[in-house]
């Protein structure tokens, strides 16, 4: 035992050091970007900025925050996240409640139908054509309706609803509750923790996604934040900001960095609040097994 404890202690030390370095590597790119976003264009271009602002300035943020387009995109993203998540939860829980009745006729067929879409997915073009033929192109519906119910979240929610004691349903029936009333007054309140976890998954997907918008949205004024941000980083939209904010061309890198931070801050702000939820949520994933 004594011989081992030395080995164990050195392992523990190594472990702590390794994990600390790993965490720093997760944060390092952020520090670099934050430092750059507060630095002058010249300092960035000359490569003088590493982890601390050089020639401190708010100019980059001024350019980003006074840009009308980025705020409009921000609004679009907030709208599709709130509205989209609400629709997701509404329709997912409605279907999950129906399918949680284990003695319902036809239930098995419907579940198989849902599971099949998880292992054999339709190609992109036909899916695009369906959305197009429904007249959803260039509307925000195209960002919310085609992903209305995630098969995976549906399956998780079904098993949640099945964990609610059957007695409660019997009582509700005796008291004259219809199915809708039971869902609304008993099942939903009881499943609040799990609903918020699943809601969180949906919301993060809405907030972060840009593929759907790339496919379905042509109108600049309907671009969500991520698409706008992508244009700023990869294409040359940052130049426009330079002109409106009357800055020099040198500021382009700084403005890109400031807009990355601008898009990250909302996530950082809510991150501590959602953390306890997703710990639980990710373990729901083990239902797969």
Question: Six-digit token pair at 187?
Answer: 């099942």
* Cα–Cα distance for residue pair 219/76, rounded to 1 Å: 12
Q: In angstroms, what is the minimal distance from the CB of 93 to another protein?
A: 9
Residues near 113 by beta carbon (within 8 Å), at least 6 away in sequence? none
Q: In angstroms, what is the minimal distance from the CB of 67 to another protein?
A: 16
Q: Is residue 253 helix, strand or coil?
A: helix
Q: In angstroms, what is the minimal distance from the CB of 185 to another protein?
A: 14
Question: Six-digit token pair at 51?
Answer: 């982890």
* Cα–Cα distance for residue pair 182/147, rounded to 1 Å: 27
- Do 245 and 59 touch, CB atoms closer than 8 A? yes
**What DSSP string runs through 90-144?**
HHHHHHHHHHT-TT-TTHHHHHHHHHHHHHSPPPHHHHHHHHHHTT-TTSTHHHH
Of 221 and 286, nearer to another protein (C-beta) is 286
- Do 252 and 41 touch, CB atoms closer than 8 A? yes
Q: In angstroms, what is the minimal distance from the CB of 26 to another protein?
A: 5
Q: In angstroms, what is the minimal distance from the CB of 87 to another protein?
A: 10
Which of 114, 204, 119 is closest to 157 using CA atoms?
Answer: 114
- Do 101 and 183 touch, CB atoms closer than 8 A? no
Q: In angstroms, what is the minimal distance from the CB of 176 to another protein?
A: 13
Residue keyed to tokens 């003088």: 48
- Do 32 and 50 touch, CB atoms closer than 8 A? yes
- Do 43 and 57 touch, CB atoms closer than 8 A? no
The one-character DSSP state at 105 is: T
Q: In angstroms, what is the minimal distance from the CB of 146 to another protein?
A: 5
Of 4 and 221, nearer to another protein (C-beta) is 4
Q: In angstroms, what is the minimal distance from the CB of 227 to another protein?
A: 8
Question: Six-digit token pair at 153?
Answer: 């979240």
* Cα–Cα distance for residue pair 85/204, rounded to 1 Å: 9
């Amino acid at each position: 035992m004594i011989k081992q404890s030395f080995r164990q202690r050195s392992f523990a030390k190594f472990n702590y050091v390794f994990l600390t370095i790993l965490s720093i590597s997760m944060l390092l790119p952020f520090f670099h970007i934050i430092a750059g976003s507060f630095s002058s264009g010249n300092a960035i271009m000359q490569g003088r900025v590493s982890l601390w602002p050089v020639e401190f300035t708010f100019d980059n943020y001024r350019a980003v925050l006074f840009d009308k387009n980025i705020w409009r995109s921000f609004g679009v993203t907030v709208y599709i996240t709130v509205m989209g998540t609400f629709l997701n939860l509404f329709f997912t829980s409605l279907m999950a409640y129906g399918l949680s009745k284990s003695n319902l006729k036809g239930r098995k067929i419907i579940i198989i139908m849902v599971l099949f879409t998880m292992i054999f997915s339709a190609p992109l073009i036909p899916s695009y054509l369906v959305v197009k033929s429904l007249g959803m192109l260039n509307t925000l519906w195209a960002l919310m309706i085609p992903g209305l119910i995630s098969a995976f979240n549906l399956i998780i929610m079904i098993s949640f609803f099945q964990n609610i004691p059957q007695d409660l349903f019997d009582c509700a029936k005796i008291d004259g509750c219809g199915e809708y009333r039971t869902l609304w007054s008993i099942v939903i309140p009881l499943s609040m923790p799990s609903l918020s976890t699943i809601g969180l998954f949906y919301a993060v997907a809405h907030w972060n996604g840009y593929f759907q918008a790339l496919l379905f949205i042509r109108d600049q004024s309907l671009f969500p934040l991520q698409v706008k941000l992508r244009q700023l980083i990869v294409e040359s939209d940052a130049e426009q900001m330079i002109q409106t904010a009357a800055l020099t061309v040198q500021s382009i890198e700084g403005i890109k960095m400031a807009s990355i931070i601008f898009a990250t801050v909302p996530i950082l702000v809510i991150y501590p609040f959602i953390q306890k939820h997703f710990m639980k949520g990710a373990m729901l994933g083990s239902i797969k097994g």
